[in-house]
Structure 1
Amino acid sequence: MQITPSILNADFARLGAEIARIPSADWIHVDVMDNHFVPNLTFGASMVEALARATETPLDAHLMIEDADRHAPAYVEAGCASVTFHVEAAKAPIRLAREIRAKGARASMALKPATPIEPYEDMLAELDMVLLMTVEPGFGGQRFLDLVLPKIRRTRTLLDSYGVQAWLQVDGGVSLETIGRCAEAGADVFVAGSAVYSADDPDAMVNALRDRAAEASSTA
């Protein structure tokens, strides 16, 4: 069980210090938004490069941007250890996943809540991670969509049936109240933004979330 706090809910004026508050995090989740694919604007490759210099915790870039085929490789070059592109924004997702891997990062494919996994099952072996959005992408602090839970289960079944070792990540509304349901359904990597950074002790929340997920997974 891995916890990947999103800095979308952190204080943008002091991101280095905000990352230092969560030393137990497995990854740092960086939400890159272009105000076109989603109605919000956040970071670019230059900011990501600066963040990579400020922490030894690996960066997990989630690209909510148009023309992912052209822009995604730049985030590997900026220092990200994992780069996630939205399949809805990729014209050649297999080629893009292979390019990200060839540059030395983990390749991940994200799907919006209404995008089914089944049309992409033949390319699962090309991926290191599948990200299922449990809210509509674009803003932090949204309520978890339980309707995605069956898709988490179907994706886990597909990964297992093909013998694919890819991680299964969920992002959106993850908290102590919802993470257990995600873990029970088969997720093993969890993005949590507001749950972490609204806590009095963000690092303690990281550990509490991991423990809750592990407990739910062991009893599934």
Structure 2
Amino acid sequence: MSVRIEPSILTADFANLEAEVGRIATADAVHVDVMDNNFVPNLTFGPRMVERLQAVSPIPLDVHLMISDADRWAVGYAELGVMSVTFHVEAATDPVGVARAIRAAGSRAGVAVKPGTDLAPYLENLAEFDQLLVMTVEPGFGGQGFMTGMLKKVADARAAIDAAGVDVWLQVDGGISLETIERAAAAGADTFVAGSAVYGADDLDAAIAGLRAAAERVHRH
């Protein structure tokens, strides 16, 4: 099982984003949180900022949409050429249709669930998605503590992915650090979003390598 580390630029210096993404070139992707101050009580940036990041980033962009009306807006982000677009099932009336539109536009299609959302209804359509994101904090703000109660949801998702025999990345986002990544990896996650654990470190490359090594160590055993 491959391990992917994706630093979140939510904790980066917004005034120097080109330089900030350059500092994480050893990561697998840049995790870009798009918030609309409607679906979540925070406002970050929209398609024009993502388009500029796509133009200057040395590694692929994994866009996480924390916005309302994903049916209308999600495909536009895929059309910018990013690696993947993840939308929340709580913000979509037709998750499968949205995922198909994202794929048709050339991006990987991801679906995310909040901590309080039942995962079961979406496990029946795993083949329609390329990534499943289990939030391990309430979406909206960085720096929150890891919700250990979500580990069972991660494990249930891993069991369903394995049983279906599909190539779906299992991502966790929220409170990921050296202390929590091992538990998330043991539950079956393979793709990890880390904010302050990377951007708060003195040596970003070392922080990325440390997180990767910790998750890989769990998977090997």
TM-score by length of 2: 0.98
- 1:137 aligns with 139
Q: Of 32, 37, 54, which aligns to 1:30?
A: 32
Contact 2:38 2:67 in 1 (8 A): yes
Aligned to 1:94: 96
Corresponding position: 1:181 with 2:183: yes
Instruction: Say if 1:21 and 1:56 are closer, same or farther in 2 by CA, change over 3 A.
Output: closer
Matched with 1:119 is 121
Instruction: Provide runs of 4+ in structure 1 moved above 2 Å.
Output: none
Q: Distance in 1 between matches of 2:32 and 2:42?
A: 14
The one-letter amino acid of 1:63's match is L
Mark the runs of 5 or more structure 1 residues left unpaired by the alignment. Answer: none
Shift of 1:198: 0.4
1:28 is displaced (CA, Å) by: 0.3
Q: Is the 8 A contact 1:180 1:217 kept in 2?
A: no
Q: CA deviation at 1:145?
A: 0.2
Residue in structure 2 matched with residue 148 of structure 1 by the alignment:
150
1:212 alignment partner in structure 2: 214
Q: CA deviation at 1:101?
A: 0.4
Aligned twin of 2:12: 10
CA distance in 1, matches of 2:13, 2:39: 24
Aligned letter for 1:114? Answer: G
Which of 72, 75, 96 is the aligned partner of 1:73?
75
User: What is the Cα deviation at residue 79 of structure 1?
Assistant: 2.6
Q: For residues 54-75 of structure 1, give each alpha carbon's deviation from its aligned partner in whole angstroms, at most 9, with x where no partner exists.
A: 1131100000000001000111
Aligned pairs (5 A) from 1:33-72: 33-72=35-74
Task: Name the counterpart of 2:192.
Answer: 190
2:88 and 2:139 map into 1 onto residues whose CA distance is 10
Deviates more, 1:70-79 or 1:5-14: 70-79
- Which residue among 172, 175, 195 is the counterpart of 2:174? 172
Q: What's the offset of the Cα at 1:117?
A: 1.2
Q: TM-score, normalised by structure 1?
A: 0.98
CA contact (8 A) 2:136 2:150 kept: yes
| Aligned counterpart for 2:163 among listed residues 139, 161, 164 | 161
Contact 2:25 2:58 in 1 (8 A): no
> Contact between 1:48 and 1:79, CA under 8 Å: does it hold in 2?
no
Structure 2: state its 5+ residue gaps.
none
Identity of aligned residues (%): 59
In structure 2, what is the equivalent of residue 107 of structure 1? 109
